[in-house]
Amino acid sequence: MTIQLEKYTCLVCGGAGEEHTRLDGNLRRCPSCTFAWTAHPLPPTTELYDESYFTGDGYEDYYLPRPRRYESARRLRWLQHTTRTHQPTTLIEAGSAGGYFIKAAQHAGITAHGIEISAHAARHARDHLGVPVHHGHFETFTPPHRVDAVCAFHVLEHVENPRQFLHAAHRMLNPRGWLALEVPNIASAAATRLGTNWPHLQFRYHRWHFTPDSLLRLVTTTGYDVVTCDTVFSRFYWRPWGRLRHARDLLVADWAAAGSPLVRHPRLGDALRLVARRHEGGWPT
């Protein structure tokens, strides 16, 4: 229910008008392009991601290796399948956290390194996994050479300016290089059904909230040609032996929407995935 109207300029479509405030005043949404953002201001990213974020606030425990390895393996298979016509041999992962995807990529023969805003997580990646993760801002990082792929899994919703982030990725990519993104899908069946109880909202950390339409529009106006865009339900990343909070609520919402045990859906899954290629003709600003 809309409870108030305020002036806005949308970061995705550039439209100006009245923003619709939703979910108990926590979420503001552009009625033109469905892009949404957290209503209250968040601290700079450098102040948000200390050790507590990875061990209880943002994750149940990010450093538990088995679920992270499982997620990383699934994401790597998705990337390799999608880019099978010209698979990347070098990549940068933005927001690489503890380094598990970097490790999986290395095992697959890819030269991979990461950029991570959290000093604690970057140190964990180097000390415990032995993978090259640089501590710093992705947007200002200058790699020694361009790469075939830039990956960012559940990162774009955290950054201070998604357009600047995507322009930085464009700068780091080889001609026709790959961009792989995954973000929470605010238009998912579970988000619609559960409202403020949807576990992927995380208003303390997530600045931006994407739908398939708004993510497609943002990516195509920042220098990329989209190859594929789909969604997966949360259970796509659940290990067969794992136990997760909110599992029952998410399963009920998923089944009500899809009416089947499928883990992929064109639009209604919790995680929104996109692969695009670097466009060589420049982009609108």
Q: What is the pLDDT at residue 180?
A: 98
Closest to 21 measured CA to CA, from 1, 41, 35: 1
Closest to 218 measured CA to CA, from 162, 173, 161: 162
Q: What is the pLDDT at residue 285?
A: 45
Q: How far is CA 25 from the centre of its chain?
A: 23
Closest to 12 measured CA to CA, from 158, 137, 161: 161
pLDDT class of 239 with cuts at 50, 70, 90: confident
Q: What is the pLDDT at residue 245?
A: 55
Q: What is the pLDDT at residue 51?
A: 85
Tell me which long-range contacts 35-39 makes (C-beta under 8 A, separation of at least 24).
35/10, 35/11, 35/208, 35/209, 35/210, 35/211, 35/214, 35/217, 35/218, 36/186, 36/208, 36/209, 36/210, 36/211, 36/214, 37/11, 37/207, 37/208, 37/209, 38/203, 38/206, 38/207, 38/208, 38/209
Pairwise CA distance, residues 14 & 204, whole Å = 25
Q: What residues does 9 pair with on adjacent strands? A: 16
Pairwise CA distance, residues 51 & 119, whole Å = 9
pLDDT class of 258 with cuts at 50, 70, 90: low
Q: What is the pLDDT at residue 280?
A: 82
Model confidence pLDDT, tens digit, residues 154-197: 999 999 999 999 999 999 999 999 999 999 999 998 898 889 99
Q: What is the pLDDT at residue 55?
A: 81
* In the predicted structure, residue 275 carries a pLDDT above the cut 90: yes
> Which sequence spans correspond to the domains of the chain?
1-33, 42-278
Pairwise CA distance, residues 36 & 88, whole Å = 32
Model confidence pLDDT, tens digit, residues 83-136: 999 999 999 999 999 999 999 999 999 999 999 999 999 999 999 999 999 999
> Could you tell me the pTM of the whole model?
0.91
Residue 102: strand, helix, or coil: helix
pLDDT class of 284 with cuts at 50, 70, 90: very low
What would the CATH number be for the domain defined by 42-278?
3.40.50.150
pLDDT class of 59 with cuts at 50, 70, 90: low
